[in-house]
Amino acid sequence: MTKDIERYMREAIQLSIDNIDNNGGPFGAVIVKGGKIIAKGVNRVTMDVDPTAHAEVNAIREASKVLGTFDLEGCEIYSSCEPCPMCLGAIYWAHLDKLYFANTKQDAKEIEFDDSFIYEEIEQPLADRKIPTKQILREEALEAFNKWKEKEDKIEY
């Protein structure tokens, strides 16, 4: 492992440690491009009153602003903890090249940040999920998808 990789991970870890003193959760992330940290994020769920304000998502938002693009190909993310399902999804949607993490999801579970129920819910049939889920008005909604499909000047992502 190169010293740079360890340096970036230590930065994410330090962000997670410092964030506790700022009333945030114990999570930090940095995004690197071309050997330079271009974005940092910490967990701001309680500070921003936003359940999506996780460290990785905040770092992705900042990196996108810095680079002026939603496509973060060519970047790597370093997270102080194995990403939750939402953050992992965001990492894939952002097209990050690599993911490095320190603490595991099991480590997070041991301090009561347990995402296992989400992984379990995804596998359940709609009728068996804890949040009642029902598909309606699909035919009407398909109008938007058909319009998108036919749009010649769309920006794909």
Catalytic residue status for 6: no
SS3 content of the chain, % helix, strand, coil (to 5): 50, 15, 35
Q: Which two tokens stand for residue 26?
A: 């114990």
Q: Report how far apart, in Å, the C-alpha atoms of 146 and of each of 22, 138, 141, 142, 143 are.
A: 47, 12, 9, 6, 5
Which of these is catalytic: 6, 11, 56, 140?
Answer: 56
Q: Phi/psi class of residue 137: alpha, beta or left (left: φ > 0; alpha: ψ in -120 to 50)?
A: left
CA dihedral (44, 50, 51, 53) in degrees, to 10, reads -40
Residues taking part in catalysis: 56
